[in-house]
Amino acid sequence: MKLNIVPARTGMTWVKLGISTFWRQPLALSGLFFMFMAVMSVVGTIPVLGLALALALLPACTLGLMAASKEAATGKFPMPTIFLSAFRAGREQLRAMLVLGILYGAGFWLIMGLTALFDGGAFAGQYIAGKMPTLEMAQDPATQTAMIAFLALQMPLSLMFWHAPALVHWHQVSAAKSVFFSLVACLRNFWAFTVFGLVWIAILLLAIVVVSVLAALFGSPQAAGVALLPISLMIAAMFFTSTYFTFRDCFDIGTGETPA
């Protein structure tokens, strides 16, 4: 296995591949994405341990979406069982995937604890409860600092686990090494990932503007909110589809393809 350094324009290619692959199997990939959302939501509602369990399962669930994207990219129909790829790969890989989940959960809780140093835990409490900060909280300088700290710390955490599940699953890399290699790959391909992120943000903003303008033209502003939810979810599904291609192009095992 070796790390590939790709040019900045590859970020746009990843977006295009994600969109085109999604539309090859829109029902299967959107269905698997909704399954992912449902699993995270249901597990998160479990009293006391819900959020911790959801965080622990997140790497395995995102691996399922990447495996589905790989199937769709090769012209196959991804069956619902592919969502369980992480749990069917073998005992060693399953153990490593669960370690990833524990590490990710520990990182998340550490970030929440650090944000509490700025506002006494107000932002962390709202975030963990799944609620948006109130207007008063958003205007509070302490909460604003906590939100900025969360974004600043969550970014490197996300990069550390961006490729980690795929490295564990397809390259049999240990949990600790996969986190390190994932961060290095993202940093070494900084400009490609910057383009990738900016293009997806632009797509989402464009969708919001188009829907809002159309709703205003038809004299139904409330329709914008109704239409934006499914459109946003579809864009999110295409985004997750595209993450497989970021992994495929950043790592090489000598054949240019990830193993099945």
Residues of the chain with pLDDT under 70: 253-260
User: What is residue 49's predicted lDDT score, i.e. its pLDDT?
Assistant: 84
Residues 61, 83 contacting (CB under 8 angstroms): yes
The whole-angstrom separation of Cα 34 and Cα 31 is 5
3 pairs with which residues across the strands?
251
Cβ atoms within 10 Å of 218's Cβ, excluding its own: 10
The whole-angstrom separation of Cα 20 and Cα 168 is 27
- Would you state the structure tokens that stand for residue 12, as one six-digit string? 């746009």
Distances 128 to 91, 125, 132, 205, 243 between C-alpha atoms, Å: 32, 5, 10, 26, 26
- Would you state the structure tokens that stand for residue 155, as one six-digit string? 């970014």
The residue assigned the tokens 């391909």 is 189
pTM over 0.75: yes
Distances 214 to 7, 226, 229, 233 between C-alpha atoms, Å: 37, 13, 15, 19
- Would you state the structure tokens that stand for residue 4, as one six-digit string? 């590939």
With 0-12 / 13-18 / 19 or more C-beta atoms within 10 angstroms meaning exposed / middle / buried, residue 9 is exposed
User: What is residue 38's predicted lDDT score, i.e. its pLDDT?
Assistant: 93
User: What is residue 253's predicted lDDT score, i.e. its pLDDT?
Assistant: 58
User: What is residue 255's predicted lDDT score, i.e. its pLDDT?
Assistant: 44
Q: Where are the beta strands (DSSP E) in the chain?
A: 2-3, 251-252
